[in-house]
Amino acid sequence: MSLIRFRVDEAHEEPAVTLDAFLGQSNATAVRVEPGEDARVLLPFLDRLQLIEIAFPKFRDGRGYSSARILRESGFTGELRAAGDVLLDQVVILRRCGFDALASDHVLDLAKVEEALARFPAVYQKAADAKPPVWALRHG
């Protein structure tokens, strides 16, 4: 496993608990959300969560992208980690959906990740990152 972080704070050490466990015992600060689970149940707890890990058991299952955006749109500022079958070619969309850490089952080459992230000079739509969509650039 390789962990790539786009944050300056220290990586969170406490292991993420399952969503059920988190909702049952409420002092954990790291939780893991599986593809079929509703990220919105975490909204009341965002203030004290330091790490939310979104599981990608298969890279083709795109539910985690919606989970991530919902959490960022609701104000979550802690670490949002994509964990599992995370591949180079998904890095751009993961970052755009608000992930700021990648825990991949594969070996991700940091240089290639950075190259991928720098490739597209503009984006068409507003998402969870800070990139202005082209319509904002066109119309100031």
Partner 1 sequence: MYKYDEYDQAIVDARVEEFRDQCNRRLSGEMTEDQFKPLRLMNGLYLQLHAYMLRVAVPYGTLDSRQMHMLAHIARKYDRGYGHFTTRQNLQYNWIKLDDAADILAELATVEMHAIQTSGNCIRNISADQYAGAAADEVADPRPYAELLRQWSTFHPEFLLLPRKFKIAVIGADEDRAAMKLHDIGLKLVRNAAGALGFEVYVGGGQGRTPMVAPLIREFLPADDLVSYLEACLRVYNRYGRRDNLYKARIKILVHEIGADEYRRQVEEEYLHVKTLGLDPPAAELERIAAMFALPPLDPNAPGEIERSDPDFALWLDQQVVDHKVPGHAIVTISLKPTGGIPGDASADQIDAMAKLAQVFSHDELRVTHAQNIVLPHVRKADLYAIWTRLEETGLATPNLDLVTDIIACPGLDYCALANARSIPLAQKITERFANLDRQRDLGEVKLKISGCINACGHHHAGHIGILGVDRKGEENYQLSFGGSGAEDASVGKIIGPGFSEDGVVDAVEKALETYRGIRVEGERFLDTYRRVGPEPFKAAIYEKAPA
Q: Is 81 one of the binding residues for partner 1 (CB under 8 A)?
A: no
State the minimum distance, in angstroms, from the CB of residue 26 to partner 1. 25
Burial annotation 7-19 (CB, 10 A radius, 16+ → b, else e) = eeeeebeeebbeb
User: What's the rounded Cα separation, in Å, for the pair 104 and 85?
Assistant: 6
**5 binding partner 1? (CB under 8 A):** no
Contact flag: residue 43 with partner 1 (CB under 8 A): no
Contact region for partner 1 (CB under 8 A) — 23-31, 46-54, 76-84, 85-93?
A: 85-93
- Using CB under 8 A, pick the residue from 65, 76, 101, 108 that binds partner 1: 65
Q: What is the DSSP string of 12-68?
A: P-SPPEEHHHHHHSTT-SEEEE-TTS-GGGGGGGGGG--EEEEEESSTT-THHHHHH
Contacts to partner 1 by CB under 8 A: 35, 38, 59-63, 65-67, 69, 73, 87, 89-90, 92-94, 96-97, 116, 119-127, 133-135, 137-139
